[in-house]
């Protein structure tokens, strides 16, 4: 077991240390409880049954003896032949469990009777000369309560020396316990029977019936015997022998119960082990599996639910391992593929960069090469217009002017292309120095004045009073401002103002904004207007330009480590803003940004 898995297994034990009871403990405990209850119940029922059965057997023997005496001594009782009765009683007393024998006359008097042992003293002589038996007094009340010919069985306790009638025949649990402890209980069964009269009168004996029944003074009824108190034979049986048997039986029951309990517990423990050990193995294996370890297949030791569970677990573990292996292989493959694709992309990127570089070189070279003949053409055209090469009519002059204008436009385009290519190639050098923003803005405004006048657009300049100088290349700042201003004047509606403002920001930069009241820019175009040659569809073909101004302005701002953005509301106008570092913030930052910005004019590559 790894430390991690061990800690997972031990976790419940530690967390619920007071409550955690193992399954084995529960099984053994439950089985033990069931066994104890079952054994006690069965044992108790068995003992009760045996007690009852033994008592009944004893009572039956006593009843037989009493009936024998009643039968044998019937005529002697009628004849009051006491010597004969005494002889019969002595014969009965010779039987071992018989404790006393008494014959009670129909008048309730003791006719004859003797006792053995402790019962000898219970026969006393009265002053009248009549003998009396103490136990008879106890039975009389019961006899009067129910006068039947059935034997009357009572239990008498002689614990105090005086006979006491017990409420029931069976021994109480406490008495049984004391019996187990070896005590001898002075309990006796008293069996009292009626001395039977001869069954008189068969149904067909009219002579005898007539003899018995014919009376003139009494109503003649059908043979109802005159109820009269019967003669009784009372026999007492000692329960000593019964108690010995019960004691032996109780001990046997206790031993059997203990043996059953011990055997049952052993079986329960074995059964619990048989259940819990495979479960523990499963738990351990599952913990290892959860920890990512490889788990060997568990042995299926039993062909039952736990065996099935083990089989299912083995299946699951095998599948999990296979999936893990597949994933690992897939991860390896994916890494290789990503690596290959990255290399492919890097190569493509290099190729594209090379193509872009070559394009920029081409554009730069082509622009550069186009500028020379274009300059020559403009010189010669100026000479023609100025009449240096001969007189020109007014018509020719106007044509020449148009050609010159177009050449100027072409030159501007070529200049823009050249600038863009130079910036993209990183060949643009910026010469940073403190620049007064207001001066640059005023110059740019002045340069767009003719165009603004032509379109009846007022350009308003708003400068903050605390506007600091910015650290920038003045020419590039002029070009940025001019491009933005040119666009604003070009796209704003006639007779609307274009605002140019500059203000310091709290972060130490200066924000320069150009606002117009033009048609604005759609949201989908706002991200793309800074790309080269991108023209917003709403501008139409009437607007001149190829879409390089904003791209150049953005690249130039970024060369100054600034940021250019646009805020626009379609239909209401746009505001282009950019930031530049003020001279105050740049100074302390100089030392920090020393590798990128030097005090002397330098070239910054993006």
Partner 1 sequence: MLPFLPLFILFCFTTLWGTVHAAEIAILKSADLTYYDHAIVGFKAGLPPMMKVNEYNLDSQLTRGREIGESLRASPPDLVLAVGLKAAIAAKLELFDTPVVFCMVLNPEAYSLPTSNMTGIAVRAPPVTQLAALRSLMPNRHRIGVLYDEEQTGAFVREAINVASHQGFELVSVAVRGQEDIPRAVSRLLPKIDVLWLIQDQVVVSESAIPFFLESSLNAKVPIFTFSSTLVQQGAVGALVLDPWTVGQQAARLSLARLRDPGTSAGIIEAPDRSQWALNVKSAESFGMTLSPELIRLAGQVFSGEGPRTHKLDPSDQIP
Q: Which residues bind partner 1 (CB under 8 A)?
A: 74-75, 78-80, 197-214, 216, 219-222, 225-226
Return the closest-CA partner of residue 597 out of 559, 554, 556, 557. Answer: 559
* Tokens matching residue 231: 């003669």
Rank residues 196 and 601 by Cβ distance to partner 1 and give the closer one: 196
Query: Which residue is listed with tokens 């204008």?
Result: 405
Rank residues 17 and 224 by Cβ distance to partner 1 and give the closer one: 224
- Least distance from partner 1 to the Cβ atom of residue 67, Å: 15
- Least distance from partner 1 to the Cβ atom of residue 74, Å: 6
- Least distance from partner 1 to the Cβ atom of residue 152, Å: 22
Query: Which residue is listed with tokens 């190569």?
Result: 347
* Tokens matching residue 223: 């043979």
Q: How open is the CA angle 453-454-456, to the nearest 5 degrees?
A: 60
Rank residues 75 and 393 by Cβ distance to partner 1 and give the closer one: 75
CA dihedral 321, 324, 329, 333 (to 10 degrees): 170
- Alpha carbon distances (Å) from 144 to 112, 148, 152, 175, 381: 21, 10, 11, 30, 165
- Least distance from partner 1 to the Cβ atom of residue 126, Å: 24
Rank residues 21 and 203 by Cβ distance to partner 1 and give the closer one: 203
Tally the C-alpha atoms within 13 A of residue 66's C-alpha that lie toward its C-beta: 32
Rank residues 208 and 267 by Cβ distance to partner 1 and give the closer one: 208
- Least distance from partner 1 to the Cβ atom of residue 222, Å: 6
Rank residues 182 and 227 by Cβ distance to partner 1 and give the closer one: 227
Helix (H) / strand (E) containing 133? strand 131-133
- Three-state DSSP state, 593: coil
- Least distance from partner 1 to the Cβ atom of residue 105, Å: 13
* Tokens matching residue 266: 């052993």
* Tokens matching residue 594: 């020393």
CA 526/CA 550 separation, integer angstroms: 12
3-state secondary structure 192-206: EEECCCCCCCCCCCH
- Least distance from partner 1 to the Cβ atom of residue 216, Å: 6
Rank residues 125 and 202 by Cβ distance to partner 1 and give the closer one: 202
Rank residues 197 and 456 by Cβ distance to partner 1 and give the closer one: 197
Q: Are 470 and 510 in contact (CB under 8 A)?
A: yes
Rank residues 217 and 305 by Cβ distance to partner 1 and give the closer one: 217
CA 243/CA 118 separation, integer angstroms: 17
CA 196/CA 170 separation, integer angstroms: 28
- Least distance from partner 1 to the Cβ atom of residue 205, Å: 4
- Least distance from partner 1 to the Cβ atom of residue 199, Å: 8
């Amino acid at each position: 077991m790894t430390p991690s898995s061990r800690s997972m297994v031990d976790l419940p034990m530690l967390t619920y240390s007071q409550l955690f009871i193992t399954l084995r403990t529960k099984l053994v405990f439950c089985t033990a409880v069931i066994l104890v209850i079952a054994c006690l119940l069965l044992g108790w029922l068995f003992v009760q049954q045996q007690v009852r059965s033994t008592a009944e057997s004893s009572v039956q023997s006593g009843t037989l003896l009493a009936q024998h005496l009643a039968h044998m001594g019937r005529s002697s009782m009628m004849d009051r032949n006491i010597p004969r009765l005494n002889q019969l009683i002595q014969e009965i007393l010779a039987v071992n469990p018989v404790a006393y024998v008494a014959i009670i006359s129909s008048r309730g008097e003791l006719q004859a009777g003797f006792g053995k042992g402790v019962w000898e003293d219970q026969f006393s002589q009265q002053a009248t000369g009549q003998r009396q038996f103490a136990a008879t007094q106890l039975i009389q009340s019961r006899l009067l309560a129910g006068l039947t010919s059935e034997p009357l069985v009572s239990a008498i306790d002689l614990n105090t020396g005086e006979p006491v009638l017990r409420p029931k025949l069976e021994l109480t649990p406490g008495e049984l316990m004391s019996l187990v402890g070896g005590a001898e209980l002075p309990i006796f069964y008293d069996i009292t029977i009626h001395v039977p009269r001869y069954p008189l009168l068969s149904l067909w004996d009219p002579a005898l019936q007539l003899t018995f029944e014919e009376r003139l003074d009494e109503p003649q009824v059908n043979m109802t015997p005159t109820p009269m108190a019967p003669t009784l034979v009372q026999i007492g049986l000692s329960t000593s022998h019964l108690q010995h048997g019960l004691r032996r039986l109780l001990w046997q029951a206790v031993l059997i119960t203990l043996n059953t309990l011990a055997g049952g517990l052993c079986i329960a423990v074995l059964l619990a082990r048989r259940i819990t050990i495979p479960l523990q193995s499963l738990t351990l294996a599952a913990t290892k599996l959860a920890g990512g370890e490889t788990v060997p297949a568990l042995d299926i030791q039993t062909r039952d639910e736990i065996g099935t569970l083990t089989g299912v677990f083995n299946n699951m573990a095998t599948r999990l391992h296979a999936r893990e292996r597949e994933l690992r292989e897939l991860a390896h493959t994916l890494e290789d593929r990503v690596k290959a694709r990255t290399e492919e992309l890097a190569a493509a990127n290099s190729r594209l960069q090379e193509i872009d570089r070559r394009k920029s070189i081409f554009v730069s070279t082509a622009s550069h090469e186009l500028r020379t003949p274009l300059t020559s053409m403009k010189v010669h055209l100026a000479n023609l217009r100025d009449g240096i090469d001969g007189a020109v009519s007014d018509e020719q002059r106007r044509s020449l002017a148009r050609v010159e204008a177009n050449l100027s436009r072409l030159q501007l385009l070529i200049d823009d292309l050249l600038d863009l290519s130079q910036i993209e190639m990183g060949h643009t050098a910026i010469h940073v120095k403190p620049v007064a923003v207001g001066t640059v803005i005023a110059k740019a405004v002045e340069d767009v004045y003719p165009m603004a006048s032509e379109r009846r657009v007022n350009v308003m300049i708003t400068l903050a009073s605390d506007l600091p100088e910015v650290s920038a290349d003045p020419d590039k700042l002029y070009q940025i401002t001019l491009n933005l201003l040119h666009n604003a004047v070009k796209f704003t509606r006639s007779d609307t103002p274009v605002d140019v403002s500059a203000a310091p920001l709290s972060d130490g930069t200066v924000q320069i904004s150009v606002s117009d009241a033009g048609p604005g820019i759609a949201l989908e175009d706002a991200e793309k207007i800074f790309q080269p040659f991108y023209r917003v569809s709403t501008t139409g073909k009437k607007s001149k330009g190829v879409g390089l101004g904003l791209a150049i302005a953005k690249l130039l701002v970024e060369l100054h480590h600034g940021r250019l953005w646009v805020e626009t509301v379609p239909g209401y106008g746009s505001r282009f803003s950019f930031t530049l570092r003020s001279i105050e913030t740049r100074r302390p930052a100089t030392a920090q940004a020393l590798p990128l910005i030097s005090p002397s004019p330098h070239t910054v590559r993006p």
